């Protein structure tokens, strides 16, 4: 089984920089913006985007983590998942523009769970979705607002995102 690298460090950096600019343009600045990453790598990407946005806009952007484990529709199939802490930034999400951040968008089920989790903690004005890799094969009508890279894949292939903070390497690979 072969694995091929589809994004390298420079590609990931370029994609995140573009997403940061698109978020700022869409939101008309950084005011009332909150980034929530979906564990594990979505949190890392949210922190990177927060740093980029803060640098570009010269304004601090709150970043948090949103655990979706208990909101998933496949808990009966994967009961051993342990919840990770949800960290909502000071000031909460009510009335804010919340950007959910995740590494790979596949079926859309994690994002559906994230939307349910958000509703359990507050009422944002708007929820947007930023994804590093959109690989297609949606099972739910969910579409990202900001995408680093669209990577067509077979349903049987696996897309792996590796980030320095989590894995000691920086790449996106696809393989069987």
Give the tens place of pLDDT for each residue, 10-33: 999 999 999 999 999 999 999 999
Residue 81 placed within a domain: no
Helix (H, G, I), strand (E, B) or coil at 38: coil
Domain total of the chain: 1
Tell me which residue range forms the domain holding 37: 3-71+87-175
Tell me the C-alpha distance between 81 and 56, whole Å.
37
Question: Is residue 66 a contact partner of residue 95, using CB atoms and an 8 Å limit?
Answer: no
Q: Which two tokens stand for residue 100?
A: 């959910």
Residue 51 placed within a domain: yes
* Arithmetic mean of pLDDT over the chain: 93
pLDDT at 176: 81
DSSP annotation of 69 reads: G
Q: What is the CATH number for 169? A: 3.40.50.2020
Binned at pLDDT 50, 70 and 90, residue 75 comes out as: low
| Overall pTM surpassing 0.95 (yes/no) | no
């Amino acid at each position: 089984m072969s694995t091929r690298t589809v994004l390298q460090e420079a590609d990931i950096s370029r994609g995140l920089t573009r997403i940061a600019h698109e978020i700022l343009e869409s939101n008309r600045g950084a005011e009332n913006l909150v980034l929530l990453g979906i564990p594990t790598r979505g949190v890392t990407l949210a922190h990177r985007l927060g740093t980029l946005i803060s640098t570009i806009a010269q304004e601090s952007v709150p970043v948090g983590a949103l655990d979706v484990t208990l909101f998933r529709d496949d808990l009966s199939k994967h009961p051993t998942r342990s919840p990770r802490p949800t960290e909502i930034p000071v000031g909460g999400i009510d009335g804010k523009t919340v950007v959910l951040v995740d590494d790979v968008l596949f079926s859309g089920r994690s994002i559906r769970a994230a939307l349910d989790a958000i509703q359990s903690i507050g009422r944002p004005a708007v929820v947007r979705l930023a994804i590093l890799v959109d690989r297609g094969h949606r099972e739910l009508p969910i579409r990202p607002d900001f995408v680093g890279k669209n990577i067509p894949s077979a349903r049987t292939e696996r897309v792996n995102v590796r980030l320095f903070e989590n894995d000691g390497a920086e790449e996106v690979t696809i393989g069987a």
